[in-house]
A = this chain, B = another copy of it.
Amino acid sequence: MHALSFRYGQRHVGEIEAARRIADEAGVRRHHLLDIDLAVFGGSALTADIDVPKDRDLAPSSSGAGPIPITYVPARNTIFLSYALAFAEVIDSTDIFIGVNALDFSGYPDCRPQYIAAFERMANLATRAGVEGSRALRLHTPLISLSKAGIIRLGASLGVDYSLTTSCYDPEADGAACGRCDACQLRLKGFAEAGLEDPIRYAAAQREAPR
């Protein structure tokens, strides 16, 4: 098992530090940290100088319908998966895992099952496997159809130490999660619905988890 993380001009490095903690804990063979420059293009609150929206009303929706939020990073998962594809080909791996989630998904187009299926098809034409007829490459998305509560429950049943993790788009200077951005709201709602306590620290002004 190898792990890939990306510094792509995101507003904070807390998620990189969390990825490193989790990769260590999981005993991966190697954790590759790649620098990619998406900020040069701008166009997203996560990479450009635009405020992260807070306290949005996230109406529950199992269809995933709704406008795409400003925190959407253009083609981000496509770029991540393209690097993963290159790496998989070099180490002769046929399996790529990505934790995208199509429910509670905040409206990102590149988290949907039809997108993942299209990437997998493209990937098998892009590489040696597609020409030489060797083993096909599979894209695995074990979390794609789970609710946030379902993800929390699955992780808890597998022994995941959630204190190592982070979700906040815009943490405080001391690392505490804001509790108010979309990612914090969805995470808190997931823990609440799973009946579990979230072990990470939140800012004092944290809102109650939405019902």
Q: Let me know if A41 and B128 touch, CB within 8 A.
A: no
**Contact residue among B75, B79, B130 (Cβ-Cβ distance under 8 Å from A109):** B130
Q: Let me know if B126 and A86 touch, CB within 8 A.
A: no
A125 at the interface (CB under 8 A from B): yes
A89 at the interface (CB under 8 A from B): yes
- Which residue of B is nearest A44, CB measured? B90
User: Given the known A-B contacts A118-B121, A125-B112, are A90 and B74 also in contact in the complex, defined by CB atoms under 8 Å?
Assistant: yes
- Contact mask for chain A residues 5-44; partner B; CB cutoff 8 A; 1 contact, 0 none: 0000000000000000000000000001011111011110
Q: Let me know if A128 and B72 touch, CB within 8 A.
A: yes
A77 at the interface (CB under 8 A from B): yes
- Which residue of B is nearest A115, CB measured? B125
Interface residues in A, total, Cβ within 8 A: 45
A206 at the interface (CB under 8 A from B): no
- Contact mask for chain A residues 122-135; partner B; CB cutoff 8 A; 1 contact, 0 none: 11011110111000
Chain B residues whose CB sits within 8 angstroms of the CB of A115 once the complex forms: 122, 125-126, 130
Distance between Cα atoms of A141 and B130 in the complex (Å): 20
Q: Let me know if A122 and B37 touch, CB within 8 A.
A: no
A150 at the interface (CB under 8 A from B): no
Q: Let me know if B131 and A90 touch, CB within 8 A.
A: no
